[in-house]
Structure 1
Amino acid sequence: MCTLTLAWRVFEDAPVVAAANRDELVDRPSEPPEVVEDDPRVVAPRDAEAGGTWIGYNEHGLLVAVTNRWTDADLAGDRSRGLLVRDALRHGSAESAARFVERETDAREFDGFNLVLADADAALLFEWDGTLRFSRLEPGVHVVVNVGADGRFDVPEARPDAGRDQADNARGVRTALTPEPGETAEGWLDRAADVLGDHEYGVCVHGDGFGTRSSSLILLGEDGARYRFADGPPCETAFREVRPEGQI
């Protein structure tokens, strides 16, 4: 996934709201969201090749999502980043999952990533390019892309033009998704769906064998969770309600 937008503690009835596009090789197989763990119950799509996921939530109201991080570092990538997400979703809180991520990156090497952990109490961002950096997110709207988040971008020498474009796109998305007076979480997600599929913002990607494969809209609120999923680029694919068995 290459674009993650998080509205954390913006809406009174829904502390965690996220809208995200996943960019991937067209021929890499994946499965739509469903219950993938039972203790705790986890809802997430699945990368059928490596077995992990790029975004999901659990019964404790914890959201975990990852984007690739472009870096000039030569990383071994010994373990799938998607498995790191799936393992983090087994934890009961963002803080507990954060301690797990710290232990895992100390013990293993991954390809570059940006990882967000968010629940009602905390929103945390990890950035890994061979060195792990950690920050606590303030209430508000945050946009994470391959080169960084929230105006703090590190464009790699190997991809200068694409990196600068991503930074500009992230700024545009964040501005467009500034909450409007009186806006609800559902209303914001509807706007986010439009922005993520609008080519003016550059985050719905179409390329030769690579592009935006799916889009996720997730709301974790007082009345439970809601997940809408587009199994294709959001510019041309309708979002459908995810209704996993025993929905949490």
Structure 2
Amino acid sequence: MCTLAFAWRAFEAAPLVVAANRDESVGRPSSPPSVRGDDPAVLMPRDERAGGTWIGVNEHRVFAGVTNRDADVVGERSRGRLVTDALAAATAEAAVESVEREVADRAYAGFNLVVADDGECVLLEWDGVLRTHVLEAGTHVVVNEGFDGATGKSRAVRARLLGHDSPAAWLDAARGALRDHDVGACLHGDGYGTRSSSLVTVAADGAVTYEFADGPPCETPYERVDAVL
């Protein structure tokens, strides 16, 4: 039940602003965001069980993020490895092609995967059939069941993020939305819930800012990641 919200080409000062909650089993090990690799360098957290990630941005300013998707398909490889595959690309177009090749060659559980750079933003939905949506400039919200107006949760979160005139105002609204229990963005369950929250900004000059809450954002402060791409 992850939440992935982003404003793509909505603000002149920042072509991409992202706010995302990761919902996962409590015992699944992970590491906080850091710069990993060098060809290209990637700023991302890491899933220590399967070796992938759920969100990140690389030195070419290619962004990738994933949510689960409810589907009757079984995967042989972690969906998080698709994100690291995408983050190895120099463009969003190349990242999309890498995902297309993978789902043609190997089995994956259902997913919604967003890739974006300065010129293109694409959502790939997989539930045994791959559907590709080229997204327009603006604010979008992806949850397990779909995106934007597909569910009450995505509509409610998106409504909180529309109408802001700066990246800072958008992020302030996003912090509130990601803490919200009523819309289901922040979850607390038996052995499962919101494990972390990420705020990522790619500025017009290429600077990348990452704020990370290593726990549910309703009770865990965001801290700036001290890393430079």
TM-score interval (norm. to shorter): over 0.9
**Residue equivalent to 1:175:** 159
Aligned-residue offset at 1:243: 1.1
Identity across the alignment (%): 55
- The Cα shift of 1:201 comes to 2.2
Matches within 5 A, 1:167-206: 167-180=151-164, 183-206=165-188
Q: Quick one: distance in 1 between partners of 2:75 and 2:166?
A: 40
Give the SS at the match of 1:200: coil
Query: Separation in 1 of the partners of 2:157 and 2:76?
Result: 33
- Please give the alpha-carbon distance, in whole angstroms, between the structure 1 residues aligned to 2:125 and 2:101: 14
Q: One-letter code of the match for 1:215?
A: S
Say how many residue pairs are matched.
Answer: 228
Gaps of 5+ in 1: 154-166
Aligned positions of 1:44-123 closer than 5 A: 44-71=44-71, 73=72, 75-123=73-121
Shift of 1:36: 1.6
Q: Which AA in structure 2 matches 1:18?
A: V
How large is the Cα RMSD of the aligned pairs? Answer: 1.0
Q: Deviations over 1:151-197 (max 9, x none)?
A: 2x4xxxxxxxxxxxxx21111011111032xx211221121011100
Counterpart residue identity of residue 168, structure 1: G
**In 1: Cα distance, 2:56 partner to 2:133 partner:** 21
In 1: Cα distance, 2:62 partner to 2:203 partner: 11
Q: Give the corresponding residue for 1:211.
A: 193
Q: CA deviation at 1:200?
A: 2.7
Shift of 1:107: 0.5
Which residue of 2 is the match for residue 228 of structure 1? Answer: 211
The CA distance in 1 between the partners of 2:163 and 2:192, in whole Å, is 32
Structure 1 residue 37: Cα displacement: 1.8
Which one of 214, 235, 240 corresponds to residue 223 of structure 2? 240
Unaligned runs of 5+ in 2: none
Give the residue type in structure 1 aligned to 2:224. Answer: E
2:187 is aligned with what amino acid?
Answer: V
Work out the CA distance in 2 between the residues paired with 1:102 and 1:220: 25
TM-score normalized by structure 1? Answer: 0.90
CA distance in 1, matches of 2:177, 2:45: 22
Q: CA deviation at 1:33?
A: 0.1
Structure 1 position 64, deviation (Å): 0.1
Helix, strand or coil at the partner of 1:199: coil
Letter in 2 for 1:218: V
